[in-house]
Amino acid sequence: MNNSFNHMISIAPMVDKTDRHFRYFARLLTKKTLLYTEMITSQAIIHGDRKKLLDFNPTENPVALQIAASNPDELYKAVKIAEDWNYDEINLNAGCPSDRVSGNMMGASLMAYPELIAEMISSMKSATKKPVTVKHRIGISSSKVTSSFMPYGFFNDLGHLSDFMIIINKAAPDRNIIHARIAILEGLSPKENRDIPPLDYDMVYNLKKQFPNSIIEINGGIKTLDEIHEHLTHVDSVMIGREAYSNPAFMARFDSLYNPQDSMTLTRRTIIEDLLPYIEDLESKGENAHLALSHTLGLFQNQPGSSLWKRLLSTPSLGTKSILLRDALASLPQDILDKEI
């Protein structure tokens, strides 16, 4: 067990969402929350454009690299390569239910093979001194995946999950991030797998009782600060996914979990003004500023001016996106811009 654990809250890795632009934006709202990359496969790191895949702005730290893999040797190589970047921890994805991932013996399908997960965690720990964590679900259901551990194609009870933990704990992961749903590997899309399988927070709570020395982080359907506080009475930390992306102002409240006095006084005006130099820098390099701004569409969620903000960001402009942001500062309701988040 690594003693470097010191966070209460993280933002979940989300494909096509938690890229370096989102992480820069998120860091304007919260300084202490652990951020994640999108899921990256070990083969992509070994054979792909590493700079494009792994580069990030130092202001994004603390940030974790999430890797999907099925081969311990490949995973070792990928983690070794990533050592040249200043990630704060390395995470193994054992919870993604998509056909593309689980069909290649990665993601949630790995839960049928806990011995393999343990072997991969050991490979990761031999490649880095940084914390090594694993993200998984409370169980899986599949008509195609069976194993000696899961001979009937599913497990969805606390006893089976406890057996799973016993096996992977042989490799001593530094933290288990547990999405409190089973993963259904056939018949549901990744989006449906985030909604249709029912949440079972109690199973995660009970697992923590059975493994009090394991650091357990809960994930799935968490939308309010009150819910975060409630979960923290049962487990060690909380991971927020879609709510942080669709309503990013929510992230401005996260630092108060550590110390209420540490909370920043933020307004939407200060966020936009702080984002401007980043957008100008992207434009000066010929990079895609529109992509970066797409992550901010929810900044005015549930506020007057939300439709105007989204329309401004989505409207083709003859000028630059930085000019568009200045137009937004002039056009949006001034009281909403200056209201503390």
Residues of the binding site for FMN: 13-15, 66, 135, 179, 219-221, 241-242
DSSP state of 340: B
Catalytic residue among 34, 75, 78, 96: 96
N residues, the chain:
341
Binding-site residue set: 13-15, 66, 135, 179, 219-221, 241-242
Q: Contact, 68 vs 107, CB < 8 A?
A: yes
Is 120 an active-site residue? no
Locate 166 and state its tokens.
Answer: 């016993």
Q: Which DSSP string do the residues of 291-318 spell out, in sequence order?
A: HHHHTTGGGGTTSTTHHHHHHHHHS--S
Cβ-proximal residues to 207 (8 Å cutoff; 6+ apart), any chain: 158, 161, 162, 165, 178, 216
Spatial CA neighbour of 324 closest among 284, 332, 21, 26: 332
Spatial CA neighbour of 19 closest among 297, 300, 295, 321: 295
Q: Which residues are catalytic?
A: 96
